[in-house]
């Protein structure tokens, strides 16, 4: 018996020349299996479920098209019955009516979903377990990738600890992306924010200035809690083009200070860099928005992506980080505009303000910001209306 790594739909002429018969799954009957073999397979199922979760994670992050190509759903594959039999074989009914018996190392039965193996070691062998698992995917041209991934020891060494990842689902026309984010954040209200595996704090810039006597400091993410989440300015209105701000000169009058006095209300020097602030904003967004099934990735070092963060598969988040109060407008680059147009409902503008000690920390998430926020054009393109347009508003407390 031959299991070719390709589709047989265009090989009918080759099969005829080679005098080969096309055998379907319905023509095969498993033999050599008893109740004790089912019990032996049950002992292997916890390990099998872990490996399915690892494969699901790997394909979701690295091969999303293959992830979606599975012919059964992922939970069904994880619940597949395993049978281990040293006497495993199949009886094959040929077109001429004869029956041929053959020993085999692995066999897949789709209904009910059952995986037969000659021994436990066959589960991670390319020609047995890898081939059987790959048959659960529709495209024959992609099955070799599934086979290699399933048998890779590196994937087995990195088994997920928080359940398998799932791809972000396409937004239905009636689905409100902001309400979906609100549901995730609601479940975290009152809990101290903790960094997950994918959100470990990165090292700050080596160029950080030495700490002055009383520096301005960023907040510590480990002491921040979510206090509330709401959808603000609920009436959805489309954005408009605003005229740019006109710069007017102001007369100083009698204001000002004597030269040499050092001035008044001089800001203390910063004890952090711009990179420190951006990383804190990135960590906050990942901790607040992500759930255990999604893992956000940092795109800030990748040029022309048009977003700072994403799940690598579907949703994109562009982050604007501020040490102090929430602004009313933010500048947006052309790459971000292009990403927003391409991703449509899966692009979010995340404005995070109050990252420095002494300011209230607020995260505002805007869906489809090119449509819902106002445009301002000056020396750069800006999106305005951050304080008056519809958004998910998340308040954080120390």
pLDDT bracket for residue 93 (50, 70, 90):
confident
Asked whether residue 150 falls in the same domain as residue 185, the answer is no
Asked whether residue 309 falls in the same domain as residue 392, the answer is yes
Single residue among 157, 187, 216 that ends a domain in this structure:
157
The stretch 155-168 carries a mean pLDDT of 51
Single residue among 124, 157, 190 that ends a domain in this structure:
157
Mapped onto helix, strand or coil, the DSSP state of residue 346 is helix
Burial 335-357 (b: 16+ CB within 10 A, else e): ebbebbeebebbbbbbbbbbbbe
Max mean pLDDT among 86-90, 174-178, 264-268 falls in: 86-90
Asked whether residue 129 falls in the same domain as residue 184, the answer is no
Name which residue leads in pLDDT, 222 or 146: 146
Domain annotation covers residue 254 = no
Q: Provide the domain count of the chain.
A: 2
Domain annotation covers residue 7 = no
DSSP assignments along 286-342, one per residue: HHHH--TT---EE-TTSTT-S-SEE-SSS-EEEEEE-SSS--SEEE--HHHHHHHHH
Domain that holds residue 217: 177-245+270-397
Looking at 199-291, list the stretches that DSSP marks H as alpha helix, in order from N- to C-terminal side: 274-289
Q: Residue 265: what pLDDT?
A: 40
- Residue 296's Cβ-count burial label (10 Å; 0-12, 13-18, 19+) is buried
Q: Residue 199: what pLDDT?
A: 43
- How confident is the prediction for the chain on average, in pLDDT? 78
In contact, 178 and 365? CB cutoff 8 Å: yes
Distance CA 196, CA 32 (A): 47
Residues of the chain with pLDDT > 90, as a percent, come to: 17
Asked whether residue 116 falls in the same domain as residue 196, the answer is no
Domain annotation covers residue 198 = yes
User: Residue 270's closest CA among 381, 366, 181, 355?
Assistant: 355
pLDDT bracket for residue 155 (50, 70, 90):
low
Q: Residue 264: what pLDDT?
A: 36
Domain annotation covers residue 84 = yes
pLDDT bracket for residue 161 (50, 70, 90):
very low
Asked whether residue 224 falls in the same domain as residue 365, the answer is yes
pLDDT bracket for residue 248 (50, 70, 90):
low
Give yes or no for a cis peptide into 112 (omega within 30° of 0): yes
Distance CA 187, CA 128 (A): 43
pLDDT of residue 212 exceeding 50: no
Among the residue ranges 118-127, 219-228, 261-270, the one predicted with the least confidence is 261-270
Name which residue leads in pLDDT, 45 or 237: 45
Asked whether residue 199 falls in the same domain as residue 137, the answer is no
Asked whether residue 111 falls in the same domain as residue 216, the answer is no
pLDDT (tens digit, 9 = 90+) per residue, 291-308?
A: 756 677 888 888 888 888
pLDDT (tens digit, 9 = 90+) per residue, 8-38?
A: 566 667 767 777 777 766 778 889 988 899 9
Single residue among 94, 123, 157 that ends a domain in this structure:
157
pLDDT bracket for residue 365 (50, 70, 90):
very high
Domain annotation covers residue 281 = yes
Please name every residue paired with 361 in a beta bridge, in sequence order, or none if there are none: 396
pLDDT (tens digit, 9 = 90+) per residue, 276-289?
A: 999 999 989 888 88
Q: Residue 182: what pLDDT?
A: 83
Among the residue ranges 166-170, 223-227, 252-256, 275-279, the one predicted with the least confidence is 166-170
Name which residue leads in pLDDT, 323 or 5: 323
Q: Residue 117: what pLDDT?
A: 92
In contact, 122 and 105? CB cutoff 8 Å: yes
Using alpha carbons only, give the angle 39, 45, 48 rounded to the nearest 5 degrees: 145
Domain annotation covers residue 76 = yes
pLDDT of residue 389 exceeding 60: yes
Asked whether residue 91 falls in the same domain as residue 32, the answer is yes
Read off the DSSP letter of residue 127: I
Asked whether residue 182 falls in the same domain as residue 137, the answer is no
The stretch 238-266 carries a mean pLDDT of 55
Asked whether residue 311 falls in the same domain as residue 208, the answer is yes
The stretch 147-160 carries a mean pLDDT of 66
Backbone φ and ψ for 151, nearest 5 degrees, come out as: -90, -5
User: Residue 147's closest CA among 68, 58, 83?
Assistant: 58
Asked whether residue 113 falls in the same domain as residue 191, the answer is no
Mapped onto helix, strand or coil, the DSSP state of residue 67 is helix
Domain annotation covers residue 309 = yes
The stretch 52-60 carries a mean pLDDT of 85
pLDDT (tens digit, 9 = 90+) per residue, 323-358?
A: 999 999 999 888 898 889 888 889 999 999 999 988
Domain annotation covers residue 131 = yes
The stretch 177-189 carries a mean pLDDT of 81
pLDDT bracket for residue 312 (50, 70, 90):
low
Asked whether residue 90 falls in the same domain as residue 21, the answer is yes
Distance CA 53, CA 46 (A): 11
Q: Residue 144: what pLDDT?
A: 84
Q: Residue 189: what pLDDT?
A: 79
How many other CB atoms are there within 10 angstroms of residue 197's CB atom? 9
Q: Residue 245: what pLDDT?
A: 53
- How many residues are listed for the chain in this entry? 398
pLDDT of residue 262 exceeding 50: no
Element (H, E) at 92: strand 89-93
The stretch 67-85 carries a mean pLDDT of 91
Q: Residue 138: what pLDDT?
A: 87
């Amino acid at each position: 018996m031959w299991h070719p790594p390709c589709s047989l739909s265009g090989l009918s002429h080759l099969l005829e020349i080679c005098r080969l018969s096309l055998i379907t799954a319905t023509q095969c009957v498993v033999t050599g299996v008893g109740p004790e073999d089912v019990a032996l397979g049950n002992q292997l199922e916890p390990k099998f479920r872990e490996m399915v979760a690892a494969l699901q994670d790997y394909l979701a992050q690295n091969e999303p098209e293959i992830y979606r190509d599975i012919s059964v759903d992922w939970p069904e594959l994880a619940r597949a019955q395993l049978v281990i039999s040293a006497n495993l074989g199949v009886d094959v009914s040929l077109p001429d009516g004869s029956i041929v018996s053959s020993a085999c190392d692995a066999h897949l039965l789709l209904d009910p979903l059952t995986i037969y193996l000659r021994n436990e070691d066959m589960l991670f062998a390319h020609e047995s377990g890898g081939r059987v698992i790959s048959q659960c995917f529709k495209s024959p041209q992609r099955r070799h990738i599934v086979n290699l991934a399933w048998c890779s020891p590196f994937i087995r060494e990195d088994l997920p600890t928080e359940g398998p990842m799932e791809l972000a689902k396409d937004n239905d026309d009636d689905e409100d992306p902001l309400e979906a984010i609100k549901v995730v954040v609601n479940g975290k209200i009152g809990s101290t924010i903790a960094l997950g595996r994918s959100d470990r704090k990165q090292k700050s810039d080596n160029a950080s200035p030495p700490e002055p006597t009383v520096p301005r400091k960023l907040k510590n993410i480990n002491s921040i809690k979510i206090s509330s989440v709401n959808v603000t300015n609920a009436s959805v209105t489309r954005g408009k083009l605003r005229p740019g701000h006109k710069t007017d000169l102001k007369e100083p009058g009698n204001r000002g200070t004597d030269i040499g006095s050092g001035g008044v209300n001089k800001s203390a020097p910063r004890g952090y860099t711009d990179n420190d602030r951006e990383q804190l904003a990135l960590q906050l967004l990942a901790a607040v928005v992500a759930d255990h099934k999604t893992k956000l990735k940092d795109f800030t070092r990748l040029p022309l992506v048009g977003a700072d963060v994403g799940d690598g598969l579907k949703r994109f988040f562009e982050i604007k980080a501020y040490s102090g109060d929430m602004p009313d407008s933010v500048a947006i680059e052309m790459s971000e505009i292009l990403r927003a147009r391409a991703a449509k409902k899966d692009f979010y503008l995340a404005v995070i303000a109050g990252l420095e000690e002494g300011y209230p920390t607020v995260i505002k998430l805007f869906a489809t910001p090119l449509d819902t926020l106002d445009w301002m054009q000056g020396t750069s393109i800006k999106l305005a209306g951050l304080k008056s347009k519809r958004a998910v508003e998340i308040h954080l407390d120390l």
